[in-house]
A and B are shown apart, each in its own frame.
Chain A
Amino acid sequence: MQELQLYIESERLDLFKDESITLTQTIQNIKDVAKVFTSFTQTFNVPASKTNNRIFKHYYNFHIVNNDDNSISGFDARLKKSGKIELNTIPFKTGRIKLEGVGLKNNLAHTYKITFFGNTVELPDILGDDKLDSLLFGSSDYDLEYKASTIRAYLMTSQGNGKLIVPLITHTQRLYYSGTVSSNTDNLFFQGGTIQGVPFSELKFAIRLYELILEIEDKYTVANGYANNLIFSRDFFNTSNPAFYNLYMWLHRKSGNVNPPQQVISFTSPSPSWTGTQTQILRNGNTIFIPSTFFLGSNGRILDNEIKVTPANQSQSVDYQIVVFLNGAQVAISSSGTGQRTLTLASQFLIPNGVLTVSLLHSSVMVIQAMEWEFEGDFTVSGQPGRTSFTDTFNTPANWTAAAVFSFDVRQQIPDMTIISFLTSMFKMFNLVAYLNDSNVIVVRPLEATSVSSFVSGKNFSYLTDDDISNENAPVNYNISEFVDTKTSEVNIALPYKEIVYEYEGLGTFLAKQHNQLFGSDWGTLGYIGGTDPEGTGGINFNASTETYKVTVPLEHMKFERLVNAANGANTDIQWGYSVNENQQPFIGKPLIFYAILQTSATPISFINTPTSTQSTNAYWTPSNSLVLGNAGTKQNINFNNELNEFTGTNTFIDTLFNVYHSNYIIDVFNTSRRLTKITSYLPLNILFNFELNDTFTIGLNTYIINSITTNLQNGKSSMELLNKV
């Protein structure tokens, strides 16, 4: 028998009677990254006892004020109070308590209605609608110049461990290869003195997906004012896992050029990293960050702010403007002028969790003697009357140079995509599950992948078969026969769909469209109808269900092209991406991800440095849907369906996403022996507190995997949905 104890700010509340808590855990929830932090809310009605009246200060009486600060109510219900729930004095949940109201009887308080919110809020509550452009990207590695030499270096080599690369994907130009000199500038064939090939302005940077995971971890921390530290395990997001680590996202936010043509040439130079003491406002690299706790927890106000730029003597005559970006979008710009200039950012842009950066827009090179951003405001301190003032001042290093080159700001060039959508796309592609471990790390693992995805000691850390990378959470079998209530139970059909469609949302690029028109099927898309082949083929149209379930990945899936030497019909080593629509016009599409393969002794291509000079290179980052280009090695790829490989022209790349990450679980779902069994059990505490969703239960002679369990923690009564092992 479990008794519940409820505390608010260390004082124990009186309860009416035995309060019960019910928890539901389902395998569906762990497959949905949005539910990795299962939010816990519970509403309680507590009596208006002497103890509770003292705590809630007779909230119904709105004349009662705080003894120390008469300007606020005796109990300030505008703020949630810290609280905790214990079960038999064992800590169960910590969180915050909100007073909802008071029920009165005969004009006397009778009941306080309160809601307990667990500290773990759902991931969407933490990430909100934050987009990838709101990530900090504070490292100087992201201070990129957009010019020929830089693009060429990132195209040919692995700079900084390949964090950022330039793949051979053009935004407008239709490349081809002919081993003869031609007057067509689109020809990649290099011939000294002939201006043809790919100009640097056709190419854009791409970022490794692993870096995005690191940036998410860097931004969403308690120190930055968020409810939880977001830390992902390295079971899947691992530098040794090529299926993930070799994936890149093309930094393609707008169609066409990075820098559109301008009437007057001007250059945008982001500020260097800020320094200065952080008390309320935080800094990270060249970003300024306003934590939500400043507004919500401390009731903070920013009363004034000012950016002040002082050019060095030699740059006093250079025209420039101060530009402020919020989450990658420009929100303020000063008028153009010379000498010392200031800009005050309007208060509507000083928002919780806002990531602010400052750039200078200038017509020529200039040296900045000093740059300062000062914030003034005040906030409240719990238990202290009045408000406390603060001034946070941040400075850039003295005498930094704003060069006369175009800059490539990752925040401004990264695709317009929410972080939760990015994570969801990874979960859908690789059939990942996520849960919090005891160290509050979000463990991310494939649900049940095949061995080809193994990358450490023959393991891929599949949730249903392996332990995790910390050697924990291995599946355990429990015999619960004696705890099952046999009075009533149900055995139902387990097949809810007639077809499951795996697809990418973005199939709008030229070659993907062409594939659809030529072959009558969407590029990389699989419609699975119950075959036993791990590639997803076969099966018949089971008609018991009429529903089709779609696993739609919100990403662009490009069909790449291997170029043939038009002069002799021989294959080249050149595989490239063409980011245009079916009318061959520049195209944005969904965020594009791909494997990047650095070829170092490939067919030379011509790279146009300037309108009058070209260079040859036989090394370049090649975009691919398969992890490798040739027939040797792994056959893993990011198609759901086994398509003809763009580079080899064969269908030998059988290790599709479906085959490796989905087939084990899904093929069983369509098995004729599969049943969904619903039972009630009364589990003892040693099972109740220890079981995980990847464990199995034995009842009698049968073994089951868990689909869902709803547990009343007070009496251990559990309603279970179990799937028999087939």
Chain B
Amino acid sequence: MATNYALRSPLYATANYVSATLGQFKFRILTGTTVLYTIIKPASSGVDCFIEVAELLRDYLNITFDGTNYTPQKISFEIRNTPQTAAGVNLNSEGLALSGDGWEAYGLFTDGKNPELPFENRQKPTWLLPEKYPVTGTPNDDFFVYVPFDVGGTVAGISFGGVVSFFPFSDAATSINPSTIGAPLTISRIGCTKYGTGRKITFINKYGVLQDLWFFLKAVKDISRTNESFQSNTLTSSANFSQTNAPTKLFNTRAKQKHTLSSGYYPEYMNASFEELLLSEYVWYTRAEDDQPNSLETIPVIVKTSSIKYKTNLNDSLIEYVIEFEDAFDYINNIR
């Protein structure tokens, strides 16, 4: 049963050995049989010797999304340690300091050291989503997703044994309750509005898995460009000039599109999902293609909105967020 660690937060591996000749520990970080890094750190007999490995492992955790491939993306690792003298002579055979699966997930300060999925106050099995009423009433039985009518989806959950899986639901489903999760997921359907069926944002959430979040209301698309210019000399050798040859020449034109999406009205507990969207480093926007509106395409975007106010029913009555996204690429292709 693998332990699932959040690699966006520090992850410490510790070793301890009692020997008067102990001088250092040799740590080897492996995925499978491949050694990623070797670390040698001075050590003292009977004193914990630790290394922080989250960023090292994260180098080898590749996050991808093409619009359809909802799969767990993790790195399985082992951190092995060997006590050595200061001259590098082994004092004992290699032991295991830490092992598990690493995820593009993060724990909060309040989650403490080496946070494990699904973090504090959550018990496995569960959905890897915000819970409607965490630690109140009957825990782990009140999960919702909000999707348009006639649209299917995929949601991640973690089993009692710590196995993360994605569970699809059909375009007509109103709830699912897989046996490995043991908790129902209610699929709440949102009716069409004058703004269409909504726009889907997919992002890596706090648990390091892909999560869809629908924006149902107004969508605004902007484009902005930059360029440079110079004043050209168009005088010809016969002391004449062309009236159609522009003296002001443009070059180095670049453009970016910006998308401003309104979420529509969500319940207050969904604040957590918008928070996770804001803190995510991997976000994709699935939209209708410009020239083929019936076809969808998925593009990488950056959340430009840098702060949101947590809205409450008491203060704000209706809870709606307007989030600004920007293409994570230049509109005029310049990939070289």
Q: A-side interface residues toward B, CB under 8 Å? A: 1, 3, 5, 50, 53-54, 57-58, 61, 63-67, 70-71, 74, 88-89, 108-109, 481-487, 680, 682, 699-701, 715-716
Judge whether A715 and B38 touch: CB under 8 Å: no
Contact status A88-B336, CB under 8 Å? yes
Q: Please report the total number of B residues contacting A with Cβ < 8 Å.
A: 32
Residue from A61, A89, A484, A715 within 8 A of B251 (CB atoms)? A715
* Minimal Cβ-Cβ distance residue in A for B26: A70
Q: Evaluate whether A682 and B233 lie within 8 angstroms (CB atoms) in the complex, with A1-B334, A74-B37 already known.
A: no
Q: Which of B208-262 contact A (CB under 8 A)?
A: 228, 230-235, 237, 245, 247, 249, 251-252
Say yes or no: B39 contacts A63, CB within 8 Å.
Answer: yes
Indicate whether B97 reaches chain A with its CB closer than 8 angstroms.
Answer: no
Contact assessment for B230 and A61 in the assembled complex, using a CB-CB cutoff below 8 Å: no
Are A680 and B234 in contact (CB-based, < 8 A)? no
Q: Closest B residue to A3 by CB, please name it.
A: B336
The 10 closest A-B pairs by CB, nearest first: A485-B230, A3-B336, A50-B59, A63-B41, A487-B231, A63-B39, A53-B59, A486-B231, A481-B233, A54-B59
Closest B residue to A52 by beta carbon equals B59
How far is B231's CA from A147's CA once the two chains are assembled, in angstroms?
76
Known interface pairs A50-B58, A50-B62, A70-B88; 9 further A-B residue pairs with C-beta atoms within 8 A, sorted by A's residue number: A1-B334, A50-B61, A53-B55, A58-B55, A65-B39, A70-B38, A483-B232, A700-B233, A701-B237
Across the interface, A74 reaches (CB within 8 A) one of B38, B245, B336, namely B38
| CA gap between A483 and B233 in the complex, in Å | 7
Q: Which residues of A contact B247 (CB under 8 A)?
A: 486
Residue from B41, B228, B237, B336 whose CB has the most chain A CB atoms within 10 Å: B336
Q: Which residues of B contact A486 (CB under 8 A)?
A: 231-233, 247
CA A1 – CA B334 in complex, angstroms?
A: 9
A-binding residues in B (CB < 8 A): 26, 28, 35, 37-41, 51, 55-56, 58-62, 88, 228, 230-235, 237, 245, 247, 249, 251-252, 334, 336
23 contacts between A and B (CB under 8 A): A1-B251, A1-B334, A5-B336, A50-B61, A54-B59, A58-B56, A61-B39, A61-B56, A64-B37, A67-B37, A70-B26, A108-B55, A481-B234, A482-B232, A486-B233, A486-B247, A487-B230, A680-B230, A682-B230, A699-B233, A700-B237, A701-B237, A715-B252
Instruction: Kindly list chain B residues whose C-beta atoms are within 8 Å of the C-beta of A483.
Output: 232
Query: In whole angstroms, how far apart are the Cα atoms of A88 and B234 in the complex?
Result: 30
Given A3-B334, A486-B233, verify A65-B251 contact (CB < 8 Å).
no
**Complex: A481 Cα to B245 Cα, angstroms:** 13
A484 touches B233 (CB 8 A): yes
A1 and B332 CA atoms in complex are apart in Å by 12
- Beyond A53-B55, A67-B38, A70-B26, is A89–B336 a contact (Cβ under 8 Å)? yes
Chain B residue at minimum C-beta to C-beta distance from A700: B235
* A57 contacts B37, C-beta separation under 8 Å: yes
In the complex, which residues of chain B have a beta carbon less than 8 angstroms from the beta carbon of A67? Answer: 28, 35, 37-38
Alpha-carbon distance between A481 and B249 when the two chains are bound, in angstroms: 13
A299 to chain B, nearest CB (A): 20
Which residue from chain A places its CB closest to the CB of B61 in the assembled complex? A50
Contact status of A66 and B334, CB under 8 A, knowing A485-B232, A486-B232 = no
Per the bound structure, the CA–CA distance linking A483 and B334 in Å amounts to: 23
Q: How far does the alpha carbon of A64 sit from the alpha carbon of B336 in the complex, in Å?
A: 33
- The residue that A715 contacts in the complex, of B88, B228, B245, with Cβ under 8 A, is B228
CB of A63 within 8 A of CB of B51, answer yes
Residues of A within 8 A of B39 (CB): 61, 63-65
Residue in B closest to A485 when the chains form the complex, CB atoms: B230
How far does the Cβ of A688 sit from chain B's closest Cβ, in whole Å? 13
In the complex, which residues of chain B have a beta carbon less than 8 angstroms from the beta carbon of A108? 55
A682: chain B residues at CB < 8 Å are 230, 249, 251
Closest chain A residue to B62 by CB distance? A50
CB closest chain-A residue, reference B235: A700
* Complex Cα spacing A483 to B252, Å: 15
Give Cα A10–Cα B26 distance, bound, in whole angstroms. Answer: 29
A434 to B251, CA, bound (A): 35
Give the shortest distance, in Å, between A695 (CB) and chain B (any CB): 18
Q: A63-B51, A88-B336 are in contact. Are A484 and B232 (CB under 8 A)?
A: yes
- Chain B min CB distance to A323 (Å): 44
Instruction: Specify which chain B residues have a CB less than 8 angstroms from the CB of A74 in the assembled complex.
Output: 37-38
What is the CA–CA distance of A387 and B120 in the complex, to the nearest angstrom? 52
Q: Give complex CA distance A108, B230 in Å.
A: 42
B235 touches A481 (CB 8 A): yes
Kindly report which residue of chain B lies nearest to residue A109, judged by CB atoms.
Answer: B55
A699 to B232, CA, bound (A): 11
User: What separation, in Å, do the CA atoms of A555 and B35 have in the docked complex?
Assistant: 63
Q: Give the docked Cα–Cα distance between A89 and B237 (Å).
A: 38
Contacts of B61 in A (CB 8 A): 50
- Chain B residue numbers with a CB within 8 Å of A88 are 336
Q: Which residues of B contact A715 (CB under 8 A)?
A: 228, 251-252
B232 nearest CB neighbor, chain A only: A482
Q: How many angstroms between the C-alpha atoms of A63 and B245 in the bound complex?
A: 64
Determine the distance from Cα of A716 to Cα of B230 in the docked complex, in whole angstroms: 12
Report the separation of the CA atoms of residues A109 and B39 in the bound assembly, to the nearest whole angstrom. 17
Q: Whole-angstrom distance between the alpha carbons of A71 and B228 in the complex?
A: 52
A46 to chain B, nearest CB (A): 14
- Complex formed: what's the CA distance from A307 to B228 in Å? 70
Assembly CA distance A481 to B40 (angstroms) = 64
Closest to A487 in B: B231
A484 vs B252: C-alpha distance when bound (angstroms)? 16
Contacts of B38 in A (CB 8 A): 64-67, 70, 74
Q: In the complex the two chains form, is A70's CB within 8 Å of B252's CB?
A: no
CB distance from A70 to the nearest CB of B (A): 6
CB distance from A84 to the nearest CB of B (A): 15
The residue among B37, B51, B251 with the most chain A CB atoms within 10 A of its own CB is B37
Alpha-carbon distance between A54 and B34 when the two chains are bound, in angstroms:
14
Query: How far is it, in angstroms, between the C-alpha of A5 and the C-alpha of B334 when the chains are bound?
Result: 12
Chain A residues lying within 8 Å of B40, measured Cβ to Cβ, are: 63, 65, 70
Asked if B231 and A485 sit within 8 Å, CB to CB, the answer is yes
Cβ distance B334 to chain A, nearest Cβ, rounded Å: 6
How close is A416's CB to chain B, nearest CB, in angstroms?
A: 50
* Complex Cα spacing A211 to B84, Å: 61
Chain B nearest Cβ from A69, distance in angstroms: 10
Which B residues are CB-close (under 8 A) to A1? 251-252, 334
CB of A702, distance to nearest CB on chain B (Å): 11
Give chain B nearest CB distance to A7 CB in angstroms.
13
Least distance between B186 CB and chain A CB atoms (Å): 37
Q: Chain B residues with Cβ under 8 A from A109's Cβ?
A: 55
CB distance from A227 to the nearest CB of B (A): 29
**C-alpha gap A43/B125 in the complex (Å):** 51
Q: How far is the CA of A70 from the CA of B25 in the complex (A)?
A: 12
Task: Collect the chain A residues with CB atoms within 8 Å of residue B35's CB.
Answer: 67
**C-alpha gap A483/B251 in the complex (Å):** 12
Tell me how far the C-beta of B62 lies from the nearest C-beta in chain A, rounded to whole angstroms: 8
Q: How far is the CA of A715 from the CA of B251 in the complex (A)?
A: 8
Instruction: Give the docked Cα–Cα distance between A701 and B240 (Å).
Output: 12
Residues from chain A with Cβ under 8 Å of B232 in the complex: 482-486
Query: A485–B249 Cα gap in the complex (Å)?
Result: 9
The CA of A699 and the CA of B236, in the complex, are separated in Å by 10
CA distance A322 to B102 in the complex (A): 69
When chains A and B are docked, how far (Å) is the Cα of A482 from the Cα of B55?
A: 52
